[in-house]
């Protein structure tokens, strides 16, 4: 591809009249856009970098001495840096610097002298003269005795030439005798000093009694009063000093480590349960016999019994009868043993005469001993049989208990039937234990597929709670306890939990639409869906402006109150329950719900005996007159007198057909009391709205003019008065919206402006100072315009960068929205295809 040529007419040329040596010229010849590209490159390197780092506070600063100073040579830089480093370390840090040429001491002595080991310690000498050896002893032991012997012989030759020198043995004996004598002298001196100190102490004690003088109590009290009381700060400091200090503990284990330990514990318990169920012995807990070597002296025994006598008195005298009886028993046993030993020691080969003389007493004793041995064997066998029977019975009971006991390890059920088989027939506590063990044994950190299994478990458990609610006798207590494992699973897998709940709400909304298309009206759902709406408020936050689960639930409840007709008392109870859920949902956000106000107005209308709509209007699903316009009307005064306020449980929906007429009237009055209570709560919640009085005006009219309060019981009258007070005593907290007051714009004035006309192209004359002043003003104006122009260009550059970022974000958002809409369209098409297929079938 050929390179595009520049237009010669667009080339910028700065001509010069004459060239000057050494003068630098800028932009002699320049192509169009060069200066612009340079400015853009400079702004991207400086301004764009500052814009991207506008929220960052970390800055790297190079504080090395003269790092960017080119006037200083590298050698001077190094010398100056070294001097600064030495100057910084000269303070308190130099006391720890051992590289300095300083003399180190220990107790006033130089360490260099101590390392030479000049002082030799004598182990036989005492502590007072430790290290002080005589020169003679040193020369004798360490010098071989030659120097000392030579010294002695020289002295003797000078004194007595006739005497012979002593031998080495004699000299050593003399030295030993001399050292012993010195030692005795030191011992006697020490003993004398000790006696003198004891005598001095005794004399001081005698004198101290004379010198002791006690101050009177009055003076003591004065001194105590004069003592300053401790300050609060000192008291707090002392208390802190006596407080227990924190002890170091082991590090906290991670969630994965805790899950692993819990799995190992449950597996060990399950193995123990299976062992007990099969009747196997625990070989691990059995004590194995220790190996005894042939060289063992058996001296590590422990006395099991205490042979010491018990000291006791009886009738004021020492009682030792028990000990004497025990001694006599021991003696008898000893005699028997000695007799047996004698009989064993008798030789087998005796004379025939002694055998002939022997009498028949030995035969009789032998027979008796055989009979006793036989009887003892029978008793032992009988006792062994009894023990075996007891062991068998205990083992059977243990096996049965192990079979009845819950397993400790469970696998995650893959279908709803398996989960139902695990939980049916068990108490609520056992069901919670089973679900807890399923979560612990299949924690996501223990295996790869556990996360998907536990995500599926949330949907199965949600389906199980719905089935418990649709039973003839709903197990609401069990459902209440099952909310805890649902909450734990929701915290672990929020996305899967939200998908499961959205699927349930989507099916319920489609069912309502189908019913409206087929029958033209919708009915209130079953108890299971109401329970799901309640669980939604527990598992997910209801105060968000928009939530993927709570917002659909909010819309579904509003459709229930507007599209479902109230034809029975069950519908009244379900509608009031939805109203309670609405107040629970908006308790934090205080979002206004018009469907709630309209439904409560309709409930009050169906409790009126006379239908005269004056001052209020009804909306769907309520009608002014009709078949179901008197569902809550009570005309029996006796039933009104016997009525007492009580809570309405959800399980009452299934028991309305079995109620008597009086119970039905009591139920109607309870529904009306609940409606009044809800009106009171609405007044407390929405009382701060500016249009609150207009919103609740129909309810106020109905409560004050149409409801026969005097016919109702006292408790119901009190509720009526409290509701009216809550509605009437609310003041307007917010002012209505008013347009902002602005200062009026003045009209344009057409007064002529007189400007002095100067000759163009000529500088006006004046003094030198005036000309300098004008020059500076002109220069300032030119620089100011240039600065404004650069600032304007910087702002335009930043605006372009911000626009690029916004466009990138918008394009990414459009791409994601397009992708989501495409997926939703495909899902809707698939759903409609399934519906058509179902209707065809």
Q: Which residues are within 8 A (CB) of 415 and not within 5 positions of it... i.e. 6 or more apart?
A: 460
Mean pLDDT value of segment 400-424: 85
Residue 433, C-beta contacts closer than 8 angstroms, at least 6 positions apart = 406
Q: Say yes or no to pLDDT of 548 above 90.
A: yes
Could you tell me if 586 and 685 are in contact, meaning their C-beta atoms sit under 8 angstroms apart? yes
% of the chain at pLDDT higher than 90: 25
H or E segment at 313? Answer: strand 313-314
Cα gap 25→31, rounded to integer Å: 16
Record the tokens describing residue 113, joined without a space.
């002298």
Which residue matches tokens 């000291």?
Answer: 311
Q: What is the pLDDT of residues 14-51, one digit of tens each?
A: 677 777 776 666 545 555 555 677 788 889 989 998 88
Question: Which of 44-53, 147-156, 305-314, 359-368 shows the highest mean pLDDT?
Answer: 44-53
User: What's the sign of the alpha-carbon dihedral 298, 302, 305, 309?
Assistant: positive
Contact 525, 560 (CB under 8 A): yes
Stretch (H or E) spanning 829:
helix 768-840
pLDDT at 125: 44
Position 343 scores a pLDDT of 43
pLDDT for 214 beyond 70: no
N-to-C CA span, the chain: 67
Cross-strand bridge partners of residue 105 = 110
Q: What are the φ/ψ torsions at residue 747 (nearest 5 degrees)?
A: -75, 150
- Segment 378-386 shows an average pLDDT of 64
Q: What is the DSSP letter of 29?
A: E
What residues contact 451, with CB distance under 8 A and at least 6 apart? 444, 493
Q: Please give the structure tokens belonging to residue 296.
A: 């063992």
Q: Is residue 77 over pLDDT 80?
A: yes
Report residue 57 as tokens: 């506070």
pLDDT at 600: 92
Neighbours of 722 (CB within 10 A): 15
Confidence at 634, pLDDT banded by 50, 70, 90: confident
Q: Pick from 570, 608, 839, 802: which is nearest to 705 by CA?
A: 608
pLDDT band at 201 (very low <50, low <70, confident <90, very high): confident
Q: Are 645 and 627 in contact (CB under 8 A)?
A: no
The whole-model pTM stands at 0.49
* CA 147/CA 141 separation, integer angstroms: 11
- Decide which of 264 and 112 is more confident: 264
pLDDT above 50 for 65: yes
Backbone angles phi, psi at 522, to 5 degrees: -120, 155
Under a CB-based contact definition with an 8 Å cutoff, are residues 540 and 499 in contact?
Answer: no
pLDDT at 364 over 50: no
Residue 32 CA, distance from chain mean position: 66
3-state secondary structure 88-124: HCCCHHHHHCCCCCCCCEECCEEHHHHHCCCCCCCCC
Determine the length of the chain. 841
- Structure token digits, residue 371: 């009979």
3-state helix, strand, coil in the chain (%, to 5): 60, 0, 35
pLDDT for res 87 = 81
- Burial bucket for residue 58 (CB in 10 Å: 0-12, 13-18, 19+): exposed
What are phi and psi for residue 782, nearest 5 degrees?
-65, -45
Q: What is the pLDDT of residue 363?
A: 34
Q: Residue 446: what pLDDT?
A: 87
Q: How far is CA 601 from CA 598, 703, 707, in A?
A: 5, 10, 12
Q: What SS3 string covers 548-590?
A: CCHHHHHHHHHHHHHHECCCCHHHHHHHHHHHHHHHHHCCCCC
Name which residue leads in pLDDT, 125 or 585.
585
**Residues 522, 577 contacting (CB under 8 angstroms):** no
Q: Is the pLDDT of residue 226 over 90?
A: no
Mean pLDDT of 738-762: 69
Q: How far out from the chain centre does Cα 90 lie? A: 48
Task: Name the one residue in this structure whose structure tokens are 């399934």.
Answer: 834
- State whether residue 318 is helix, strand or coil: strand
Comparing C-alpha atoms, which of 259, 310, 291 is closest to residue 492? Answer: 259
Q: What is the CA radius of gyration of the chain?
A: 55
Instruction: Give the angle 535-536-541 at the CA atoms, nearest 5°.
Output: 125
% of the chain at pLDDT higher than 70: 68
Instruction: Please state, in angstroms and rounded to a whole number, the distance separating the CA atoms of residues 343 and 365.
Output: 14
Between 440 and 313, the higher pLDDT residue: 440
pLDDT band of 483, cuts 50, 70, 90: very high
Work out the pLDDT band at 395, boundaries 50, 70, 90.
Answer: low
Bridge partners, residue 314, by sequence = 317
Query: Rounded to an integer, what distance in angstroms lies between the CA atom of residue 167 and that of residue 135?
Result: 19
Confidence band, pLDDT 50/70/90 cuts, at residue 366: very low
Stronger pLDDT, 577 or 205, i.e. the higher one:
577
**What are 645-684's pLDDT values in tens digits?**
888 887 787 777 778 888 888 888 899 999 999 999 998 8
Tell me the average pLDDT across 591-606: 90
Q: Which of 106-110, 764-768, 813-817 has the largest mean confidence? A: 813-817
Q: Using the 8-state DSSP alphabet, how is residue 315 labeled?
A: T
| Strand-pair partners of 317 | 314
* pLDDT at residue 155 tops 80: no
- pLDDT confidence tier of residue 62, bands split at 50, 70 and 90: confident
Q: Classify residue 17 by its DSSP letter.
A: S
Residue 58: pLDDT over 90 = no
Average pLDDT, the chain: 77
User: Can you list the positions of beta strands (E) in 38-166?
Assistant: 105-106, 109-110
Positive/negative CA dihedral, 244, 250, 254, 259:
negative
- Res. 300: pLDDT tops 80: no
Nearest to 486 by CA among 507, 471, 465, 508: 465
Q: Is the confidence at residue 505, as pLDDT, over 90?
A: yes
Give the pLDDT confidence of 238-287 residue by residue, as tens digits: 888 777 676 767 778 888 888 888 888 888 887 777 777 766 766 555 55
- Residue 676's nearest CA partner among 635, 709, 644 is 709
165: left (phi over 0), alpha (psi -120 to 50) or beta: beta
Position 642 pLDDT exceeds 80: yes
826 falls in which pLDDT band (50, 70, 90)? Answer: very high
How far is residue 140 CA from its own chain's centroid? 78
Among 59-68, 110-119, 259-268, 337-346, name the one with the lowest average pLDDT: 337-346
**What pLDDT does residue 656 have?**
77
Confidence of residue 358 (pLDDT cuts 50, 70, 90): very low
- pLDDT greater than 80 at residue 307: no
């Amino acid at each position: 591809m050929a390179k595009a040529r520049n237009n010669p007419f667009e080339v910028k040329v700065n001509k010069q009249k004459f060239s000057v040596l050494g003068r630098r010229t800028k932009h002699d010849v320049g192509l169009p856009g060069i200066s612009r590209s340079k400015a853009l490159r400079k702004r991207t390197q400086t301004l764009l970098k500052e814009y991207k780092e506008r929220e960052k506070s970390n800055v790297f600063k190079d504080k090395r001495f003269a790092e960017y100073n080119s006037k200083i040579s590298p050698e001077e830089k190094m010398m100056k840096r070294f001097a600064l480093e030495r100057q910084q370390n000269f303070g308190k840090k130099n006391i720890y610097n051992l590289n300095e040429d300083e003399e180190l001491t220990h107790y006033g002595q130089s360490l260099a002298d101590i390392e030479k080991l000049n002082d030799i310690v004598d182990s036989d000498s005492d502590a007072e003269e430790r290290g002080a050896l005589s020169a003679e002893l040193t020369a004798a032991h360490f010098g071989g005795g030659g120097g000392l012997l030579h010294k002695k012989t020289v002295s003797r030759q000078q004194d007595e030439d006739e005497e012979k020198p002593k031998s080495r043995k004699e000299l050593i004996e003399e030295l030993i005798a001399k050292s012993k004598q010195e030692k005795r002298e030191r011992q006697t001196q020490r003993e004398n000093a000790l006696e003198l100190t004891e005598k001095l102490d005794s004399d001081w004690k005698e004198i101290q009694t004379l010198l002791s003088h006690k101050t009177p109590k009055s003076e003591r009290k004065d001194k105590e009063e004069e003592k300053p009381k401790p300050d609060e700060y000192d008291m707090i400091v002392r208390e802190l000093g006596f407080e227990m200090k924190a002890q170091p503990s082991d590090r906290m284990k991670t969630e994965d480590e805790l899950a692993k330990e819990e799995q190992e514990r449950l597996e060990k318990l399950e193995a123990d349960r299976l062992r007990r169920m099969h009747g196997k012995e625990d070989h691990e807990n059995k004590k194995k016999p220790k190996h005894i070597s042939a060289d063992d002296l058996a001296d590590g025994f422990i006395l099991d019994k205490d042979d010491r006598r018990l000291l006791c008195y009886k009738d004021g005298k020492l009682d030792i009868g028990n000990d004497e009886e025990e001694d006599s028993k021991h003696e008898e046993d000893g005699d028997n043993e000695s007799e047996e030993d004698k009989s064993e020691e008798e030789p087998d080969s005796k004379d025939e005469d002694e055998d002939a003389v022997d009498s028949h007493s030995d035969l009789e004793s032998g027979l008796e001993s055989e009979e006793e041995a036989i009887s003892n064997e029978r008793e032992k066998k009988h006792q062994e049989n009894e023990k075996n029977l007891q062991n068998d019975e205990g083992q059977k009971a243990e096996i049965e208990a192990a079979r009845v006991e819950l397993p400790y390890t469970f696998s995650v059920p893959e279908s709803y039937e398996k989960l139902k088989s695990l939980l049916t027939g068990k108490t609520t506590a056992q069901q919670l234990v089973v679900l807890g063990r399923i979560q612990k044994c299949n924690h996501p950190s223990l295996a790869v597929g556990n996360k998907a299994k536990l995500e599926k478990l949330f949907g199965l458990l949600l389906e199980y709670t719905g089935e418990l609610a649709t039973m003839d006798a709903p197990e609401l207590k069990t459902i209440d306890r099952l909310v805890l494992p649902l909450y734990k699973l929701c915290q672990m897998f929020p996305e899967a939990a939200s998908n499961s709940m959205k699927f349930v709400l989507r099916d319920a909304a489609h069912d309502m639409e189908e019913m409206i298309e087929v029958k033209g009206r919708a009915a209130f759902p079953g108890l299971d869906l109401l329970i799901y709406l309640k669980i939604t408020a527990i598992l997910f936050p209801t105060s968000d402006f928009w939530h993927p689960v709570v917002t659909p639930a909010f819309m579904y409840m509003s459709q229930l109150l507007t599209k479902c007709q109230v034809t029975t008392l069950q519908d009244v109870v379900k509608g009031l329950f939805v109203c309670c859920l609405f107040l629970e949902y908006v308790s934090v956000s205080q979002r206004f719900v018009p469907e709630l106000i309209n439904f409560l107005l309709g409930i009050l209308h169906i409790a009126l005996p006379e239908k005269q709509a004056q001052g209020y209007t009804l909306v769907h699903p309520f009608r002014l007159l009709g078949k179901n316009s008197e569902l809550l009307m009570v005309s029996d005064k006796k039933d009104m007198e016997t009525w007492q306020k009580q809570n309405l449980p959800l399980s009452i929906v299934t028991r309305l057909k079995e109620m008597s007429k009086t119970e039905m009237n009591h139920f109607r009055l309870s529904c009306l009391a609940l409606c009044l209570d809800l009106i009171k709560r609405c007044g407390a919640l929405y009382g701060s709205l500016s249009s609150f009085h207009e919103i609740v005006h129909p309810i106020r009219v109905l409560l004050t003019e149409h409801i026969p309060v005097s016919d109702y019981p006292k408790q119901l009258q009190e509720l009526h008065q409290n509701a009216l007070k809550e509605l009437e005593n609310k003041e307007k907290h917010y002012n209505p919206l008013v347009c902002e007051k602005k200062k009026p714009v003045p009209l344009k004035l057409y007064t002529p402006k007189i400007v002095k006309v100067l000759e163009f192209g000529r500088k006006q004359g004046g003094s030198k100072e005036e000309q300098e002043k004008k020059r500076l003003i002109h220069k300032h104006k030119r620089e100011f315009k240039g600065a404004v122009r650069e600032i304007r260009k910087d702002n335009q550059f930043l605006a372009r960068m911000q626009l690029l970022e916004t466009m990138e974000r918008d394009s990414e958002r459009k791409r994601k929205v397009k992708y989501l809409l495409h997926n939703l369209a495909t899902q809707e098409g698939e759903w409609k295809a399934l519906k058509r297929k179902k209707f065809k079938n």
